[in-house]
Structure 1
Amino acid sequence: MIAISDETIELSVIEAQPERLDRWLTAHIQKLSRNRIQKLIDWEYVELNGEVCTDKKREVQVGDKISLTIPETKPLDLTPEPIPLDILYEDEHLIVINKPAGLVVHPAPGNMSGTLVNAVLAHCGEQLLGIGGVQRPGIVHRLDQNTTGAIVVAKTDLAHQDLQAQMKAKTARREYLGVVYGLPPQESGTVDAPVGRHPADRKKQAIVPEEKGGRHAVTHWQVEERLGNFTLCRFRLETGRTHQIRVHCAHIGHPIVGDPTYGSGRSVGVNLPGQALHAERLELRHPATGETVVAIAPLPAHFLKLLDVLRKRS
């Protein structure tokens, strides 16, 4: 039984053999491809029994209620803007940028200008239009607004597809530096805890069981320097969920310093623009030549000042 409105499709499972959510939806919604449905699931546009479900492998059961929202597909009028870029690497296939704090990666409703995409469009010109979708041309991965550091943007469709495949296969290596509250008892460790939409606050992420929509998330961490009651840590992402490092750090009792969403709110005596988290190192295979590209992003001034203050205290 299916009821269709302009934006939402409501479905009831009245009979079914055990079947993955994405395959079931593909069989029952003829106008959407399986790839499109998988993306809508990934982008949190599907609800199962009233809760957001981002697990496309979840088996549907008789009696399940499924709601699928189809977002507006109207192309956006993206305006190139001459915003200065700190370029770490560039050729005709890709560009790696050291993103500053406060710079949003791509336009979204309510924030249609002043983004990294607007800046890259001005820098690269018409070459980027249409790559990876109108709203996010060339974007392979994201950094939170106030997380600084290395981010790669593809200039061609070939590069975009190859780099996304590297992210999915975990062959692209991303390392972050962050200052956390407290002193972890070990020198290194791994946080393996699923991350999903917070059940009460849709602007936040949280540790959510996979059976309730959480997505597999793994963060490896290592102590770089102990600074009194603070610690400089290196993080390596095995997965790339929204706010993953920030949520995992808060989960183990060592939130990122300056994090307005998941942090402790305690002052450290330094004016920070947000969380003290920096994507320092990005390693990937060049999509055209196959050679290894390593980009190192220098720490921003506010991060260096924080380290200086904490070292003097300790």
Structure 2
Amino acid sequence: MSSDLPSSDSGSGARVPRLEILREDGPLIALNKPSGLLTQGVPHAQASLEGLVKQYLKEQHHKPGNVYLGVPHRLDRPVSGVVVFAKNSKAADRLAEQFRNRSIRKTYLAVVESVPLPTEGTLTDWLLKDATAAHVSVVSRGTEGSKQAVLDYEVIAVKGKRALVQIELHTGRMHQIRVQFGSRGWPIVGDKQYGAVLTDEAGRDYNPQVSPIGLHAWRLVLKHPVRYDDIRLEAPLPRHWSEYGFVIPRGL
């Protein structure tokens, strides 16, 4: 569903889409983040999903003061998909613990520029983050400051040179999927930072900070922070995915 909040200006001239709420259940609220929108605000007055959700809660619950919102995880700005927030600190701590313990099942869908070979498997790398450049590199094991990154993948459809890939993420490193696939010559469509060729079927101007890439956080399976029952959250594909020519196969 979408909230009743109108679209607003992001401060950079871009229009911010309405909230797409996937589930609001006690202290948990899950949304489908659009690509190009920050998950969490930064001190430059840029629009963020966090800020829009706070505004939504403030209006829905008629809160006169500040609104608390816990942010247990994030998505990269050009990535779309499921993001979960918590309305109180206890729920935030419980959700954050699930992410730290890797007990949450995280499934992504990606459109890549070339078909991965083999068509399924496990990718294990050591990644080194350059925070000043907002960039990640694959390095040799034992490199100071590096962290292990692990994911499973399976090609589920092929169209021309491109492939639709389902990914189970076992660690949550910065830009993990993007750098692991890009380093193998399978860059995600639109992701110039990690090797993609700049082609845009819709003819949009390309902006490396906000332009959408073919990566979508499709599904999260986690425990409710109060009841502890399993919750399965799925985010519909963005409209621009129709340009890629892929749909989610039945039965996934």
Q: Same fold (TM over 0.5)?
A: yes
Q: SS state of the match for residue 165, structure 1? A: helix
- Which position in structure 1 is the counterpart of 2:158? 226
Kindly state the Cα deviation for residue 141 of structure 1 after the two structures are TM-superposed.
Answer: 0.6
Q: Give the Cα–Cα distance (whole angstroms) in 1 for the partners of residues 237 and 107 of structure 2.
A: 13
Deviation track 1:116-143 (CA, whole Å, cap 9, x = no partner) reads 1110111122599585xxxxx4111111
- Which position in structure 1 is the counterpart of 2:226? 288
1:160 to 92, 106, 109: 92
The 3 A distance-change label for structure 1 pair 106 and 228 is same
Gaps of 5+ in 2: 1-15, 205-210, 248-252
Among the aligned pairs, what percent are the same residue? 33
Structure 1 segment 11-160 matched on structure 2, within 5 A: 84-110=18-44, 112-125=45-58, 137-160=69-92
**How many residues of Structure 1 are paired with residues of Structure 2 in the alignment?**
221
Amino acid at match of 2:245: L
CA contact (8 A) 1:257 1:263 kept: no
Q: Give the Cα–Cα distance (whole angstroms) in 1 for the partners of residues 136 and 41 of structure 2.
A: 21
The 3 A distance-change label for structure 1 pair 234 and 204 is same
Q: What's the TM-score once normalised by structure 2's chain length?
A: 0.80
Kindly state the Cα deviation for residue 308 of structure 1 after the two structures are TM-superposed.
Answer: 5.5
Gaps of 5+ in 1: 1-81, 132-136, 310-314
The 3 A distance-change label for structure 1 pair 83 and 254 is closer
- Which position in structure 2 is the counterpart of 1:184? 116
Higher Rg: 1
- Which position in structure 1 is the counterpart of 2:183? 251
Q: Give the Cα–Cα distance (whole angstroms) in 2 for the partners of residues 293 and 239 of structure 1.
A: 20
- Which position in structure 2 is the counterpart of 1:75? none
CA contact (8 A) 2:54 2:67 kept: no
Amino acid at match of 1:216: Q
Matched, 1:175 2:175: no
Amino acid at match of 1:203: A
Q: SS state of the match for residue 217, structure 1? A: strand
CA contact (8 A) 1:89 1:97 kept: yes
Q: SS state of the match for residue 280, structure 1? A: strand
Structure 1 segment 300-311 matched on structure 2, within 5 A: 300-307=238-245
Q: Give the Cα–Cα distance (whole angstroms) in 2 for the partners of residues 228 and 84 of structure 1.
A: 34
Q: Give the Cα–Cα distance (whole angstroms) in 2 for the partners of residues 149 and 228 of structure 1.
A: 25
Q: Give the Cα–Cα distance (whole angstroms) in 1 for the partners of residues 138 and 67 of structure 2.
A: 35
CA contact (8 A) 1:148 1:278 kept: yes
2:199 to 262, 267, 280: 267
CA contact (8 A) 2:110 2:215 kept: yes
Kindly state the Cα deviation for residue 91 of structure 1 after the two structures are TM-superposed.
Answer: 1.8
1:278 to 190, 193, 216: 216
Q: What's the TM-score once normalised by structure 1's chain length?
A: 0.65
Amino acid at match of 2:194: Y
- Which position in structure 2 is the counterpart of 1:211? 143
CA contact (8 A) 1:121 1:128 kept: no
The 3 A distance-change label for structure 1 pair 141 and 129 is farther
